[in-house]
Structure 1
Amino acid sequence: YRPSAINAFTGKDADFQLIAFALEHGLTVATHERPKPNARKRVLIPDVCVAMGVPTVDTFDMMRATGASLHLASAPFDDGALVAPTLPGLE
């Protein structure tokens, strides 16, 4: 990878920490990214997971498998603020 790609991946975003946590605890990482093993301009989560032996799953496949669904707001609260999307059980 280019140095700029590595710096971006290990910078302020927590992607590398998420992968390290999953590795340490035997977890699977859910991501919408698709692997691109020949990429050099950007380090992608699935490619790092493969290199580290961490399983991945597509975000929508995870939602189907767990029965999770998004509940989007259709009306504002009394104070005018919109309801944030939620995942049941993770509110």
Structure 2
Amino acid sequence: MADPWLIAKAIASDATVVTHESLNHDVRRKFLIPNLCQHLGVPFMNTFQMLHTLDAQFVLSN
């Protein structure tokens, strides 16, 4: 499982974790990346927030 390594790298690099998972405080059987990030004080966002932040544009060309 790579999730702990991603979070550790974000801590070491002062980076933001990007994930498709959503913050959910009610989940008990699985560790979700956003839950762990929030607990550890690591910034996180979903893919669509990242694309918006980066002002990504998808252009079709011939």
TM-score (norm 2): 0.81
Do structure 1's residue 60 and structure 2's residue 53 form an aligned pair? no
- What is the SS of the residue equivalent to 1:43? coil
Aligned-partner residue type, residue 65 of structure 1: T
How many correspondences in the alignment? 59
Pairing 1:7-46 to 2, within 5 Å after superposition: 13-46=1-34
**5+ residue gaps in structure 2?**
none
Identify the structure with the greater helix proportion: 2
1:68 positional shift: 3.1
Instruction: Supply the AA of the counterpart residue of 1:38.
Output: D
SS in 1 for 2:28: coil
* Higher Cα Rg, which structure: 1
How far off its partner does 1:14 sit?
A: 0.5
**AA at the equivalent of 1:52:** L
RCO higher in 1 or 2 (8 Å CA, sep ≥ 6)?
2
Name the SS for the 2:23 alignment partner.
coil
Identity %, equivalent residues: 39
